[in-house]
Structure 1
Amino acid sequence: MSADTIPITIELAGGLELLFDNEKKFNIDLPTKTKDGNAANINYLVDHLCVHHMKDTRRDMFEINGTVRAGILVLINDADWELEGEGEYELQPKDTILFVSTLHGG
């Protein structure tokens, strides 16, 4: 970790791990600031994950219009992201972010 990065733990479940080469849990060092100089938040994290960690080309299965798609539950340190400000939540060192797909094919 450097002063320019935030250590974050990512967890994926409900099939989302398939988009990330079957990784269910991994750690990243996320830049603390966006290209615009804003603090790193969940929406920035979602884009970062799609660009740097997603192995599947179906980005729309995870992200639409700059945030997670409908049907994906996001927990920030075991709390629903709706309680934390959703995509605007500013990430903190050692946060654990869990993405769970609630969508099921059939």
Structure 2
Amino acid sequence: MAETSLTLEFTGGSEFLVGNQKIHQVSIPSSSLTIRSVLNWLRETLLKDCDRIDLLLEGEYVRPGVLVLVNDTDWELMDEERTELKSGDRVTFISTLHGG
């Protein structure tokens, strides 16, 4: 099976969910990859030991208050979780959720 190499970036506080590491270079087994596939991979891999996954994901979707960019473009201008990705793409998760 082919793999898709991506850069995953976590900012705005979301990096604490993935070991306080902002940038992750990953290869995901798939010849056809969408953001939805990346979210499932995140849940099963990078977030598998995280007890606060709800700060990033709500069910199978990105939690409201978390911005998602694909190559610096808001995914809402694309096809959101159905956006197709290719090797070399950068997916950025920016949390806008802050305590008060």
Fold equivalence (TM over 0.5)? yes
Give the alignment's Cα RMSD to 1 decimal: 1.3
Deviations 1:9-28 (A, max 9, x none): 00000110000000100110
Q: Give the unaligned 5+ runs of structure 1.
A: 34-38
Equivalent pair of 1:6/1:29 in contact (CA under 8 Å): yes
**2:40 pairs with 1:42:** no
Q: What is the correspondence of 1:1-106 to structure 2 with a 5 Å cutoff?
A: 4-32=2-30, 39-54=32-47, 55-106=49-100
Higher share of residues assigned strand: 2
Report how far residue 91 of structure 1 moved.
1.2
Given the two structures, how large is their TM-score scaled by the length of structure 1? Answer: 0.87
Report how far residue 65 of structure 1 moved.
2.5
Off by >6 Å, runs of 4+ in structure 1: none
Q: Give the unaligned 5+ runs of structure 2.
A: none
Deviations 1:7-66 (A, max 9, x none): 000000011000000010011001215xxxxx3211110121121012422211111121
Given the two structures, how large is their TM-score scaled by the length of structure 2? Answer: 0.91
